[in-house]
Amino acid sequence: MSFALNQILNSQWAMTEEALRLMLSVVERHADIDALEKIRGDRLNNSEKAFIRGGVGVIPVRGPLFKRANLMTEHCGATSYETVLRDFHQMLASDQVRSIVLDIDSPGGEANGCSELADHIFGARGQKPIAAYVGGTGASAAYWIASACDRVYGSDSSIIGSIGVQSALQSEKNQNEIRFVSSQSPNKNRDPSTEDGAREVQAVIDGLAEVFISKVARNRGINRDMVLGKFGQGSVFIGSEAQKRGLIDEVSTLENVISNYGAQKMTTDNITAEFIAANHPAIAEHFIRIGAAGENDRFKAEKTRVERIRTLAEGQVSGEFLQSLVESEVSVQDAAIEILMESKKNPKAPWQAIRKDHDRSLSGLDVPPSQSTGLDVVASEQDAAIELARKLGLTGGTHK
């Protein structure tokens, strides 16, 4: 048995029966692995297939799907998950790409690696609009991938669904082979043609299918029972029927999808700090500098406010009252009025002392000392406070 055929027969596949049989027939016709490996090496550097149209990154997902690039992906029209993933992240990082469309025409493929790719796509939602378009077949693993996108489109003749997993195995009975299995591992490599062996294989297949179903439910925003009840339990549906059942969002054409997604502009909801930091680091650094400068200006302004209030309050009010003014974040002009009003409520302070303290603070600002006594001081204190605030540069005019 060739290496390629052995790999197919010992893997689990999320793909249609017809496609699996076709893939088997192709490999059986090419059993010369040495020649195939040489061809594979020559074409390895041409694995990336994505392209950009009008700001839309288009990633082809065609033919049988494999976890890694191999003979089938190089020469038989197949696609590898690693190639799609690499192209997908390049599109996410590119400033030329506003949105991403997966152009799907695939019967499905290897279960191994499909879930990881779909999770990467699902996790990138919100960074850029992501859509899947099924132009021919979007079955099994191909639909698994499509469901991870924000929206799924299909042509009116597209074939969509086939949610499930299968495996093609051969009996290991060989009269010329003697095989020993460790006593601690009686379930290792059971013959699938036996009842116990079939039970082991079925458990693996069912487990993978359960992952498939739960991920499709998450991706489409529905519950598991709805997937089982409406998505066909392995059946496929044509475009409009697939839309009615909720497998796709809209029947359209690839050109319309590319045109619509190319016309989309980035909305403010998409422009988050994380998006700017990841896609426009220079702009992010600029915003950081502006923010730091603004924070420094606010600190300086607050320091000046507190210093001026302390100057006005010196010898006029208690320390507790001063602290309450500072913490209340009132302006210096309002604080001056509050300080004067509080000082006249203090019966222990004689009017002469109030006048002297206030005149002393005003004399440093070239304000003529008050010549009044007694109640005249109280009558003029508010005007003096406003004048003091003006001298401190807190107001542009005089108090009327």
Tell me the three-class secondary structure of 166-196, residue by residue.
Answer: EECCCCCCCCCCCCCCCCCCCCCCCCCCCHH
How many whole angstroms separate alpha carbon 65 and alpha carbon 108?
6
Kind of pairing between the strands at 56-62 and 65-66 = unpaired
Residue closest to 12 by CA, chosen among 278, 266, 226, 210 = 210
Mean pLDDT score, 66-82? 72
Residue closest to 133 by CA, chosen among 235, 248, 222, 54 = 248
Residues 4, 39: contact at Cβ < 8 Å? no
How many whole angstroms separate alpha carbon 103 and alpha carbon 133?
5
Residue 291 CB burial class (10 angstroms; 0-12, 13-18, ≥19)? exposed
Mean pLDDT score, 18-24? 55
With bands split at pLDDT 50, 70 and 90, how would you rate the model's confidence at 230? very high
Residue 195 CB burial class (10 angstroms; 0-12, 13-18, ≥19)? exposed
- Cα 186–189–193 angle (5° rounding)? 105
Mean pLDDT of all residues belonging to the chain: 75
Residue closest to 375 by CA, chosen among 343, 339, 344, 342 = 344
pLDDT value for 85: 93
How many whole angstroms separate alpha carbon 277 and alpha carbon 279?
6
Least confident of 194-198, 230-234, 314-318: 314-318
Q: Is 127 or 189 the better-scoring residue by pLDDT? A: 127
Annotate 283-334 with DSSP letters as a single string.
HHHHHHHHHHHHHHHHHHHHHHHHHHHHHHHTTTS-HHHHHHHHHHT--HHH
In this predicted structure, the answer to whether residue 382 has a pLDDT above a threshold of 60 is no
Q: Which neighbouring-strand residues pair with 154?
A: 134, 251
Q: Which neighbouring-strand residues pair with 226?
A: none
pLDDT value for 42: 27
Residue 161 CB burial class (10 angstroms; 0-12, 13-18, ≥19)? buried
pLDDT value for 266: 52
Q: Tell me the residue length of the chain.
A: 400
Residues 347, 359: contact at Cβ < 8 Å? no
Q: Which neighbouring-strand residues pair with 1?
A: none
pLDDT value for 156: 94
All structural domains of the chain = 3-267 (3.90.226.10), 280-391 (no CATH)
How many whole angstroms separate alpha carbon 396 and alpha carbon 305?
17
How many CB atoms sit inside 10 A of residue 94's CB? 16
SS3 225: helix
Residue 300 CB burial class (10 angstroms; 0-12, 13-18, ≥19)? exposed
The pTM (predicted TM-score) of the whole model is: 0.56
With bands split at pLDDT 50, 70 and 90, how would you rate the model's confidence at 214? very high
Tens digits of per-residue pLDDT, 124-163?
999 999 999 999 999 999 999 999 999 999 999 999 999 9
The number of helix segments (H) and strand segments (E) in the chain equals 17, 13
Kind of pairing between the strands at 151-154 and 51-53 = unpaired
What are the respective helix, strand and coil percentages of the chain, to the nearest 5?
55, 15, 35
Lookup result for tokens 């991938």: 145
Exposure string of 70-81, with b = 16+ CB inside 10 Å and e = fewer, is: bbbbbeeebbbb
With bands split at pLDDT 50, 70 and 90, how would you rate the model's confidence at 102? very high
